[in-house]
A and B are shown apart, each in its own frame.
Chain A
Amino acid sequence: MMNDSLGVLEGDSEVHLTVNGELVSERVPVRRNLADFLRLDLGLTGTHVGCEHGVCGACTVRLDGKIIRGCLILAIQANGKRVDTIEGLSDDGHLEDLQAAFHARNSLQCGFCTPGILLTAAELIETQPDADREQIRTYLSGNYCRCTGYHAIVDAIESVLRSNQEKSQT
């Protein structure tokens, strides 16, 4: 007997999308969320699953350039779109400054939340180049870190923002 009675999303579907610049075509269960798809089908284990209800931010990835929660959308909803994960954004050097600042300032401990935090921080740097500490804290308030207490994360992001400002002035 197959399970049809519980009303769960049944069946598989084809998805075609671009992940970290590579074209991907996979057949996935329609109920599989994007974070699970990245991890289970593509082996992109840098995207972490912390709560599966959209609160912790560990599964943050980019969908068509904007950060989203990988656990709150289905893989099939990403059909035809572009997804960028920590792996791709590390390989192409996009996060280089932030990663260096996080490393120097020890803005991570266990590293489980870190990919999500880096993606959020990168978006802040692009959209609010003049952010102060208060604004950095507000922007980060959808990403949960249990280890650091956030102070070092704010320091690292602030240092990248200030360094970018100095670069743009000269």
Chain B
Amino acid sequence: MTTHSRDRWVLDRPNSYIGRSVPRPNAKRLLEGRGNFVDDIVLPRMLHVVFVRSPYAHAQILSIDTTAAQTYRGVIAVVTGAQLAERHKPWVGVLKHLQGIVSPPQYAIAVEKACWQGEAVVAILAKTRAEGEDAAEAVKIQWQELPIVADAQTALDPDTPVIHDSLENNLCWERNFAAGDVDQAFETAAVVVEETFDIGRHTGVTVEPRSIVADYQPGENKLTVYQSTQAPHMMQNVFAKHLGLDEGDVRVVTKDVGGSFGIKVHVYADEFATVALSRMFQRPIKFIADRLESFVTDIHARDHLVKARMAVSKGGTIQALDFDDLTGIGPYSMYPRTSGIEANQIVNLTGGAYQIENYRATTKVVFQNKNVMCQYRAVGHPVACMIAEGLIDEAARQLRMDPVEIRRLNLYPDDGYPCKSVTGMAFENLSHHQSLDKLLDMMDYDSLRQEQADLQKRGVYRGIGLATFIEVTNPSPMFYGVGGAAISAQDGCTLRLDAKGNVFCATGVTEQGQGTETIIAQIVATSVGVAMEKVRVITGDTEVTPYGGGTWASRGCGIAGEAAGQAGRVLRDNILDVASVILQTEVDALDIQNGNVVDSVDGNVLTTLDEVARVAYYRPDTFPEDFQSELVVTRHYVPRDYPFAFTNGIQASYLEVDIETGLIRLLKHWCVEDCGTVINPQLVDEQIRGGIVQGLGAALFEHCIYDTEGQLQNGTMADYLVPMAAELPDIDCAHVVSMTGSSELGAKGAGEAGTAGAPAAVMNALNDALTPFNARVTAVPLTPQKVLEALGIL
């Protein structure tokens, strides 16, 4: 293979940046406070919108009196839901491939009734946010309270009121899956373990709240939206479609995003209202959710109650898995991704690391009068992981097997790929056993067990918990596109060589701090053959970047990275075509290394890229008549071989529980994961660590607590607990590399892995620590109260 082969992009090129922990070029300005977040944007004539929100979980709007509010200082207009409804088409959060899913039409502002505490009811446009908030208190709304459906467990009971008149009941969607002979497997099993897993509602708490500035100008009928979002092209489609604009007249610009994690990939009613209001009033309007609004309007996640059982043979082989899942998603299925995907994932993924033939799963997704719920980092994964890992640990305990041993026995063998799970998930190449071995080695498992036993004799209760996981990454159109959503699964990359040898790179994926721009630059620099400093990456502008899906489901590196690598290879070929004309040499005798055109055999520098560019741009008259240089190239990529590129890994938690107070202290956490080709080891490790800590938050602290009236009880940052530095242990990461053969780059994703496995690892560690007391906790967050209840103290 020559160094610039046209059929396979070479990972180990001479100036390769693949596998190097290069610092992020765009991090420097963030470190100096020179970021450009949406709230930093100030436009001429810009107004601020403040929403009056429903104090009730379910109530009819009898009347709205805005006369007093309109007289307040700084107030420009007060708009009700009914007024705004005339200006946009409502949306319905359903997808065709989730058969039978229903949801009522949702408007940007509630029209007749509010269906959750926090739903926007009236919009106030004012010169400052503070003035808008003053006026909000003067809006008089007459409410008639309606019966509240708070509890998902009774939402489908015949005597429970139905929230939406247009629907028959409170069922949004259900799925039933069965394979093999589950009943027989349970009848003949040596051991049957049963457990109820309660995974509490939690939320993303991005430090930058949801933020949007919409700027409609009538002259060109053009809408520009500056939005803190993960999916600019998806938003462009939604704004155009529901405002009746041509998509070409809508531009979505995404600059710095202050954390997203799946929170900022959905269509929020209040953000859409901001855009619709900008069109209505023909001037820029800013909406920045305040923290109290965030807690009652940012999507919540999880909230699953799962009754599960596992049949296991005397020798420890899993013979069947059976569970019923119930989840409450608030009053609307979110648009356009729906609120059914998490439940669907749980059915698809649970036990997916293990060879299971008999499997039955049901899930019911129900409406209720709570905040909307939708996909958040590691969609479904932590729940699937808690079910399988919790049951397998309990089975091991009953069989007196080591948790390692029972996993080894049931995991798919590393040499058995490709294969399909019982639910039809196709695995190309996973590394469960290698990952497990590496983890045990890294944590010194045997010594840790010894330490645990020694300390237990002295009344110190420590636990070790393992959690194997699989992770969905690099999604094909199977995720959303096949269901009819205008969400791109493919992504593109456009490269342009400028007149000074710089490579401008526009990509459809976005930067949320995970390092997208850096890894794209690493890939492009490698494939073109230039120093990384010569690559300028442009993201987050629908008017400039190739059409793409944005950032979600760990798709940036594996999909957009592949497009970037392929584009780089073609640009290199095109540059060499020019160079071969200038140098009057065969193109195969040339390569590009470190920004120079070199002899491909001995590496001698023949000319530079800026010289090639100079001739191409300023002296094309020197070229033969039939030669035209092409120094802009675009390539696109979408995974075709597999619906998803599954990755795998395993985590371990080591903790100590105080049996008098129920307090849990995390001592250490480990993770081994396999995301295929690692472009930037440091960035991958930091994705893993950050993801783990979000999972640790779910495991120990985070919970959106509602009362029976559908009122959120802890909607402030002081009351909703998130992991802070002092509560956390150091986290060690390591990798196994199984490249995907679906792309030349071989990269899979890594963004969900940490969050997927952490709650199960901590739950298993806690229950390991509580084994001497025959106590178990299977409800997260694992609060001291639950520990003390399990111990019989409370």
A interface residues with partner B (beta carbon < 8 Å): 1-3, 6, 8, 29, 31-32, 39, 44-53, 55-56, 58, 85-87, 90, 95, 99, 102-106, 108-115, 118, 133, 136-138, 140-154
B93 in the interface, Cβ–Cβ < 8 Å? no
B247 in the interface, Cβ–Cβ < 8 Å? no
Residues of A within 8 A of B727 (CB): 141
**How far, in angstroms, from A95 to B32 measured CA to CA in the complex?**
9
Residue of A1, A95, A112 touching B207 (CB-CB under 8 A):
A112
Taking a contact as CB atoms under 8 Å apart, the answer to whether A147 and B717 are in contact is no
Residue of B137, B204, B257, B725 touching A137 (CB-CB under 8 A):
B725
Residue of B28, B71, B204 touching A1 (CB-CB under 8 A):
B71
B434 in the interface, Cβ–Cβ < 8 Å? no
Name the residue of chain B whose CB is nearest to the CB of A152: B686
Residues of B within 8 A of A45 (CB): 33, 35, 37, 39-40
- Number of residues of chain B lying within 8 A (CB) of chain A: 63
Taking a contact as CB atoms under 8 Å apart, the answer to whether B690 and A148 are in contact is yes
Taking a contact as CB atoms under 8 Å apart, the answer to whether A147 and B513 are in contact is yes
Taking a contact as CB atoms under 8 Å apart, the answer to whether B258 and A48 are in contact is yes
Residue of A115, A140, A147 touching B33 (CB-CB under 8 A):
A115
**How far, in angstroms, from A103 to B682 measured CA to CA in the complex?**
11
12 example contacts (A-B, Cβ-Cβ < 8 A) are as follows A2-B73, A3-B73, A102-B31, A106-B682, A108-B513, A109-B512, A110-B207, A112-B37, A113-B207, A141-B726, A141-B727, A143-B724
Give per-residue flags for B195-217: 1 if the beta carbon is below 8 A from chain A beta carbons, else 0: 00000000011111100000000
B interface residues with partner A (beta carbon < 8 Å): 21, 23-24, 27-28, 30-35, 37, 39-40, 68, 71-73, 130, 134-135, 137-138, 204-209, 256-261, 290-291, 512-515, 682-683, 686, 689-694, 716-718, 722-728, 730-731, 754
Residues of A within 8 A of B291 (CB): 50-53, 56
Query: Contacts A31-B130, A103-B23, A110-B256 given: A46-B513 contact, CB under 8 Å?
Result: no
The A-B contact count (CB < 8 A) is 190
Taking a contact as CB atoms under 8 Å apart, the answer to whether A133 and B730 are in contact is yes
Residues of A within 8 A of B40 (CB): 39, 45
Name the residue of chain B whose CB is nearest to the CB of A139: B725
Name the residue of chain A whose CB is nearest to the CB of B208: A112
Taking a contact as CB atoms under 8 Å apart, the answer to whether A111 and B717 are in contact is no
Taking a contact as CB atoms under 8 Å apart, the answer to whether A146 and B206 are in contact is yes
Taking a contact as CB atoms under 8 Å apart, the answer to whether B689 and A148 are in contact is yes
Residue of A29, A104, A153 touching B725 (CB-CB under 8 A):
A153
**How far, in angstroms, from A112 to B34 measured CA to CA in the complex?**
10
Residue of A53, A87, A103, A138 touching B27 (CB-CB under 8 A):
A103
Residues of B within 8 A of A86 (CB): 32-33
| Beyond A49-B39, A53-B716, A110-B257, 14 extra complex contacts between A and B, CB < 8 Å | A6-B138, A32-B130, A45-B40, A46-B32, A86-B32, A90-B32, A103-B28, A105-B682, A106-B683, A110-B207, A137-B728, A141-B726, A145-B725, A151-B689
Taking a contact as CB atoms under 8 Å apart, the answer to whether A140 and B207 are in contact is no
**How far, in angstroms, from A156 to B159 measured CA to CA in the complex?**
59
Residues of A within 8 A of B691 (CB): 149
Nearest-Cβ distance from residue B8 to partner chain A, whole angstroms = 31
Name the residue of chain B whose CB is nearest to the CB of A116: B207
Taking a contact as CB atoms under 8 Å apart, the answer to whether B686 and A58 are in contact is no
Nearest-Cβ distance from residue A132 to partner chain B, whole angstroms = 12
Taking a contact as CB atoms under 8 Å apart, the answer to whether A148 and B31 are in contact is no
**How far, in angstroms, from A48 to B27 measured CA to CA in the complex?**
16
Nearest-Cβ distance from residue B257 to partner chain A, whole angstroms = 6
Residue of B24, B135, B722, B731 touching A144 (CB-CB under 8 A):
B722
Query: Contacts A90-B33, A152-B689 given: A56-B207 contact, CB under 8 Å?
Result: yes
Residues of B within 8 A of A151 (CB): 689, 728, 730-731
**How far, in angstroms, from A136 to B728 measured CA to CA in the complex?**
12
Residues of B within 8 A of A150 (CB): 693, 724-725, 728
Taking a contact as CB atoms under 8 Å apart, the answer to whether A114 and B30 are in contact is yes
Shortest beta-carbon contacts, A-B, top 6: A46-B33, A111-B30, A112-B258, A110-B513, A86-B33, A109-B513
Taking a contact as CB atoms under 8 Å apart, the answer to whether B689 and A55 are in contact is no
**How far, in angstroms, from A154 to B727 measured CA to CA in the complex?**
13
Query: Contacts A3-B138, A99-B31 given: A106-B515 contact, CB under 8 Å?
Result: yes
Taking a contact as CB atoms under 8 Å apart, the answer to whether B726 and A137 are in contact is yes
Taking a contact as CB atoms under 8 Å apart, the answer to whether B35 and A46 are in contact is yes
Residues of B within 8 A of A138 (CB): 725-726
**How far, in angstroms, from A16 to B71 measured CA to CA in the complex?**
33
Residues of A within 8 A of B686 (CB): 106, 109, 148-149, 152
Taking a contact as CB atoms under 8 Å apart, the answer to whether A56 and B258 are in contact is no
Residues of A within 8 A of B24 (CB): 103, 106
Residues of B within 8 A of A111 (CB): 27, 30-31, 35, 256, 258, 513
**How far, in angstroms, from A49 to B37 measured CA to CA in the complex?**
11
Residues of A within 8 A of B725 (CB): 136-138, 140-141, 143, 145, 150, 153-154
Name the residue of chain A whose CB is nearest to the CB of B40: A45
**How far, in angstroms, from A90 to B27 measured CA to CA in the complex?**
14
**How far, in angstroms, from A142 to B722 measured CA to CA in the complex?**
11
Name the residue of chain B whose CB is nearest to the CB of A5: B138
Residues of B within 8 A of A106 (CB): 21, 23-24, 27, 515, 682-683, 686
